[in-house]
Copies of this chain bind each other. A is one copy, B any other.
């Protein structure tokens, strides 16, 4: 369920542009995935040039990359707030006239619980993406992190909401993917999602659900890397 596609050059442009937003003294939420990785590497270079910031990773992957490029890390229980979060997305609603403009689907990397925690805690949350992630209507499966014992019950509840859930299988271990929180992931196909906000509320209310991948009203902007620049959407 990890998204591929999108040229690396476009991803890099988006990531590097977002990194330019960081100011001295910032606490920065560091997202997960290949586009955000470009932002993290750019931040590392800026730190080499004297930028003084602290990062809060959204995942084990982001943590390791941040350490590798020399970003000083801190943690949610240590800071008063997060100035800026930079994170990727699997889908971004790009339909200015739609109420869901700027809504996201995340969770292809199974890190969406901590991503949502960090991204919503930030004063400003910038999505970085390439054009392959833009859509005028959400149709992609929604990752839903569930308590291990809950996966069958939640799958039944998702079916009642019109979704078809599949337990995400791992490749480098036997059995299912286990998240950094020790939970499982149901990838749920709803077909076209016309009311992401309503669906998000219903998913959050399901017992056994730890977090779902619908991010509605969370992003402040999306930076879309293109062949020759960066298009900016502000919400």
A residues with CB within 8 A of B = 1-2, 32-33, 59-61, 63-64, 67, 73, 75-78, 109-111, 113-114, 116-117, 120-121, 147-153, 156, 168-182, 185, 200-201, 204-205, 207-208, 210-211
Docked CA distance A114–B150 (Å): 8
Docked CA distance A152–B67 (Å): 12
Docked CA distance A111–B149 (Å): 13
A117:B150 contact, CB within 8 angstroms: yes
**Using Cβ atoms and an 8 Å threshold, which residues of chain B touch A173?**
2, 109-111, 168, 170, 177, 179, 185
Number of copies of this chain that the complex holds: 4
- Known interface pairs A109-B174, A113-B208; 10 further A-B residue pairs with C-beta atoms within 8 A, sorted by A's residue number: A32-B175, A60-B148, A76-B153, A77-B152, A110-B173, A113-B147, A170-B170, A201-B204, A204-B204, A207-B211
In the complex, the chain B residue whose C-beta lies closest to that of A56 is B149
Docked CA distance A15–B212 (Å): 37
Docked CA distance A41–B29 (Å): 30
A to B CB contacts below 8 Å, 5 in the list: A59-B174, A109-B175, A178-B180, A207-B211, A210-B210
**Using Cβ atoms and an 8 Å threshold, which residues of chain B touch A64?**
77, 175
